[in-house]
Amino acid sequence: MPTAGIDVGSLTAEVVILEQDQILSYVIRPTGANSRRAAEMAMEEALNKAELSSSDLSCVVATGYGRISIDFVDKRVTEITCHGRGAYYWNPAVRTVIDIGGQDSKVIRLANHGRVVDFAMNDKCSAGTGRFLEVMAQALEVEIEQLATLSNRALNAVSISSMCTVFAESEVVSLIAQGLPREDIARGLHRSIADRTAGLVCRIGLEEQVMMTGGVAHNSAVVAALADKLKTKIIIPSEPQIAGALGAALLAQEGS
Ligand SMILES: Nc1ncnc2c1ncn2[C@@H]1O[C@H](COP(=O)(O)OP(=O)(O)OP(=O)(O)O)[C@@H](O)[C@H]1O
Ligand SMILES: [Mg+2]
């Protein structure tokens, strides 16, 4: 019977429906102010896409910070376990998973069979996360999807001294006012995220192969800066944002 995994994050909610290790459907939608409602709508949409109803599901596992607010689930599992499981499904050779989402960044160490053996997380602060990049994109007057393109046109990288999102935003506004190229500021911001993430990686040690999950994996400038800093190749799955929901659906399938 099919199973579902649901990941309610700070910015996006995802649902993956799985049957015998095959993805039948998936949905990514904004979490918004009502995480419970977002979860319900994502589930409804994913079931419709798979032409199933909720009674067809044998088990539903939830993850993400909003997992506590959902009542139609059989089990709740941490994002660490779910991202690890999702990454392992895509590539069993992965030993280090870097998940950068809207408000959290995490580095997860996997052993054989996708078992989590260690992890490191940022403190409760948006520095170095997707939210940080969204605020900076706004200050630079580009869409979040265009931030990497802007950065790729840079001739230099402006060093950004503030790590805190609020202070870094004022710093960026002041750098723009001083006439520094927006491209160079964007590159500096991506470098600062890469430096911060590399610091997290160092806490548990780098083991190849490395995969990035979460929405920030869509930002090729962050990926390139991080690969450069860590001196390694970083694997990006085709839908990095669904890693948590996919891991949850796999755990549901295993009946755990
Ligand atoms: N197409 C894109 N291009 C660039 N960046 C993107 C793109 N799509 C998403 N992002 C980045 O991904 C972030 C959201 O990531 P994600 O959906 O993994 O967060 P989340 O799971 O809700 O957060 P958390 O796990 O921290 O609670 C956005 O803030 C943005 O920076
Ligand atoms: Mg997340």
Reported as a pLDDT band with limits 50, 70 and 90, residue 124 is low
Q: Is the CB of 144 under 6 A from ligand 1?
A: yes
Q: Is the CB of 104 under 6 A from ligand 1?
A: yes
How many angstroms does the Cα of residue 179 sit away from the middle of ligand 2?
36
Q: Kindly identify the ligand whose nearest atom is closest to the C-alpha of 101.
A: 1
Would you say residue 126 has pLDDT above 80?
Answer: no
- pLDDT for the residue numbered 10: 94
Q: Which two tokens stand for residue 202?
A: 């160092």
The listed CATH number (2.60.120.10, 3.30.420.40, 3.20.80.10, 3.90.1750.10) that belongs to domain 1-91+238-256: 3.30.420.40
Q: pTM of the predicted model, to two decimals?
A: 0.96
Reported as a pLDDT band with limits 50, 70 and 90, residue 44 is very high
Q: Is the CB of 10 under 6 A from ligand 1?
A: yes
**8 A C-beta contact, residue 210 and residue 182:** no
Do the domains at 1-91+238-256 and 93-236 have one common CATH topology? yes
Would you say residue 56 has pLDDT above 60?
Answer: yes
Question: Mapping DSSP to helix (H, G, I), strand (E, B) and coil, where does residue 111 land?
Answer: coil
| Residue list, CB under 5 A from ion ligand 2 | 9, 101
Q: Is the CB of 114 under 6 A from ligand 1?
A: no
Interatomic CA distance for residues 115 and 103, integer angstroms: 24
Q: Is the CB of 9 under 6 A from ligand 1?
A: yes
Residue 105 Cα: closest atom of ligand 1: 26
Q: Where are the domains of the chain?
A: 1-91+238-256, 93-236
Q: Kindly identify the ligand whose nearest atom is closest to the C-alpha of 129.
A: 1
How many angstroms does the Cα of residue 185 sit away from the middle of ligand 2?
26
How many angstroms does the Cα of residue 56 sit away from the middle of ligand 1?
30
Interatomic CA distance for residues 132 and 78, integer angstroms: 23
Interatomic CA distance for residues 134 and 91, integer angstroms: 29
Enumerate long-range contacts of 196-200, CB under 8 Å, 24 or more apart.
Answer: 196/105, 196/122, 196/127, 196/128, 196/163, 197/98, 197/100, 197/105, 197/107, 197/128, 197/222, 197/226, 198/226, 198/229, 198/230, 200/98, 200/105, 200/106, 200/107, 200/120, 200/121, 200/122
How many angstroms does the Cα of residue 62 sit away from the middle of ligand 1?
18
Average pLDDT over the chain, rounded to an integer: 95
How many angstroms does the Cα of residue 11 sit away from the middle of ligand 1?
7
How many angstroms does the Cα of residue 128 sit away from the middle of ligand 1?
12
Span 158-183, pLDDT tens digits? 999 888 888 899 999 999 999 999 99
Q: Kindly identify the ligand whose nearest atom is closest to the C-alpha of 13.
A: 1
Region 93-236: CATH code: 3.30.420.40
